[in-house]
Amino acid sequence: MGLSDRLFEPPAADADKVDARLARLAPQLCQLIQRAGDALATDDVRNAQRALSSALAIAPGQPDVLRLYGLLLARMGNHDAALANLDAALHGAPDDAVTFWQYARTCEDAGKLDAAFDLRRRAVERAPQSPLAWEDLGEHLFAYTDAKASIAPLERAVQLAPQFAPGLLKLGNAYIACGRAEDGARLIRQAIGAAPSFVPAWLALVDIKTVPLTATEIDRMRDLAAAASSLLPGERIALQVALAHACERQGKYEEAWQRLVEANALRKRELPPWDGERFQQQERQADEVFGVAHAHAINTQLGREVIFIVGLPRAGTTLVEQILASHPEVEGAGELPALPAVLTEDSTRRQQRYPEWVSDATSEDWQRLGERYLELTRSFRSGRPRSTDKLPSNWRALGAIRAMLPGAHIVVCRRDPLENCWSCFKQYFPKGWEFTNDIEHLGLFWGAFDHAARQWAQRAPAHVRQQDYEALTENPETEIRALLDFCGLPFDPACLHSHQSRRSVRTLSAAQVREPMYKHRSTVTHYGHLLDPLRTALGIPPWSPEDTGSDK
């Protein structure tokens, strides 16, 4: 079980209603349902299947049997049958917030976001006293609409369940995303007070770089780590990362390093293995197919209303988007799944993985794909003519962007390689970015990114700009003027004061971008020779006592 499992559990008020319903059933059926639920919670599909087969034979129409069978089918990849069973379960228990919640999450996993939102809206109408229903609606709005819109339902959830730690944490994160870091920290501390071993809250508190930790809080984390056997595997890892950040703030760099090495080794064992060979093969293939003459969209201005912001995580993509979104002509849309979705749709249609089909794509194909992307993102340009797409990993599809949206501008965010990769190694990512848990993989990933960024900046300088993070923080006005000019935007002084923007920011840097921009302060030199394995992976000379700045 990972760290996120603790974030997705029903409050006691909603769980008690399910328990009360089960208590009215025959003991044998109740035991089978409980056994199936426990098996699903631990990914024990075989035992869940056995228990539910027996339960279906006894009570094929019982709502909880249907609900759990739907979850089992979803776990097995049969989403259509899963949704049919969950729909039947909801008809049998039309006021049950837990069924609404699990049905909506399954719709979400199947890519049916409109259906998921409709279920969440219906849930608060049918179960207005359910904290789970309000929390789930707020979570949906936070993820897919606007953090500001999520605050009201999350506040209602907290009113109904004031001691439920996940609800307090989600509201705190929403406050932070809307620029209310102090309020967010207060809610997160309330979550810790309600559940002292709730590691996601500790990690979130440490991630608010603008709010200092107290010595007492660091001691409490150490005590929790000493009793780590009581934590889930993902929680033990995240707690080590949180403590490493706390140690760094205290100047205990060797302890921070050791904790991060241990945490990343554990995380690497917990996650599916990252296939470095396949990654390199895909990057070589993309480089080859886009390195020769190829088709592109018929309309060479298609996509001129979009600004892509790409790069490695922790490279300043959030800062660049905040600057651009402060311009009156630009809407900051955040990390959108639209581009991967469009490429995946066509890969499914062709029965070939991207970029295997690129050489067969016609101008009409690229035009269609570009128009599909614009259709999926149109809502972000309802109030302003331009919008951003800040999904960092889109750097791997630079060729596709240029082919399908030749009028788009692409900002490739770069940072000192050692600083960037070290920042990735220090970060606990809830999902994805598996390469960040291994120093050699970090070096390999950086090398591929560096090659792609330089190649495309040379091939299409009018549409691809490399934005240096250090230069941006050292000479903000010069860099911001150049950035706006590249994007075809007139200068606006609001972009020099992007920290004053009230737009919501839902990334790890949400609190930091509310602070005035300052010259970057390196921490890597404090670690000295400890970072030499990472320097080796990046092709950087080993540390020497004369080093006083970040490695270039």
Element (H, E) at 386: strand 386-389
Handedness of CA 224, 228, 230, 235 (dihedral sign): positive
For residues 234 and 2, the answer to whether their CB atoms sit within 8 Å is: yes
**What is the CATH number for 434?**
3.40.50.300
Q: pLDDT tens, 156-185?
A: 999 999 999 999 999 999 999 888 999 999
Do 372 and 504 sit in the same domain of this protein? yes
> What average pLDDT score do residues 312-327 get?
95
In a domain? residue 541: no
Percent of the chain with pLDDT over 70: 93
| Statement to judge: residues 2 and 144 lie in one domain | yes
Which residue range(s) make up the domain with 46? 1-158
Q: What was the pLDDT predicted at 512?
A: 52
Indicate whether 521 pLDDT > 80: no
> 49 lies in a domain?
yes
Task: Give the pLDDT of residue 511.
Answer: 44
Reported as a pLDDT band with limits 50, 70 and 90, residue 522 is: confident
- Please say which residue of 158, 179, 202 terminates a domain: 158
CB 93: neighbour CB atoms within 10 A? Answer: 19
DSSP state of 462: T
User: 412 and 302, same structural domain?
Assistant: yes
Q: Are residues 266 and 300 in the same domain?
A: no
Span 383-407, average pLDDT: 97
Q: Check if the beta carbon of residue 98 is closer than 8 Å to that of residue 18.
A: yes
User: Is pLDDT above 60 for 281?
Assistant: yes
* Domain-ending residue, one of 140, 158, 176: 158
- Give the span between the Cα atoms of 260 and 435, in whole angstroms: 15
- Measured distance CA(184)–CA(59) in Å, rounded: 46
**By the 8 A CB rule, do 319 and 476 touch?**
no
CATH at residue 94? 1.25.40.10
Residue 5 has pLDDT above 70, yes or no: no
Q: Look at the chain and report how many structural domains it folds into.
A: 3
Q: Which helix (H) or strand (E) holds 444?
A: helix 439-459
Q: Are residues 409 and 344 in the same domain?
A: yes
CB 294, CB 359: distance < 8 Å: yes
Does 486 map to a domain? yes
Same domain, 365 and 391: yes
Do residue 332 and residue 200 come from a single domain? no
Instruction: Indicate whether 354 pLDDT > 90.
Output: yes
| Mean pLDDT, rounded, for 120-141 | 96
Query: pTM score, two decimals?
Result: 0.78
Question: Looking at the structure, do residues 369 and 483 belong to the same domain, yes or no?
Answer: yes
pLDDT at 77: 87
What does the pLDDT read at residue 552?
41
Q: Are residues 257 and 379 in the same domain?
A: no
- SS in 3 state form for 169-201? HHHHHHHHHCCCHHHHHHHHHHHHHHCCCCHHH
Give the chain's mean pLDDT.
Answer: 91
**Mean pLDDT on 335-346:** 90
Domain endpoint, select from 108, 130, 158:
158
Q: Cα 353 vs. chain centroid, distance in angstroms? A: 23
Residues 93, 231 within the same domain:
no
Task: Report pLDDT for 503.
Answer: 45
Q: Hey, which bits of 390-427 come out as E strands?
A: 409-414
Task: Tell me what percent of the residues of the chain surpass a pLDDT of 90.
Answer: 76
Which segments of 43-180 does DSSP mark as H helices, in order?
Answer: 45-58, 63-75, 79-92, 97-109, 113-126, 131-144, 147-160, 165-177
DSSP alpha helices (H): ranges in 227-359? 233-249, 253-270, 276-290, 317-325, 338-350
Residue 508 has pLDDT above 80, yes or no: no
Chain centroid to CA 9 = 19
Averaged pLDDT for residues 277-294 = 94
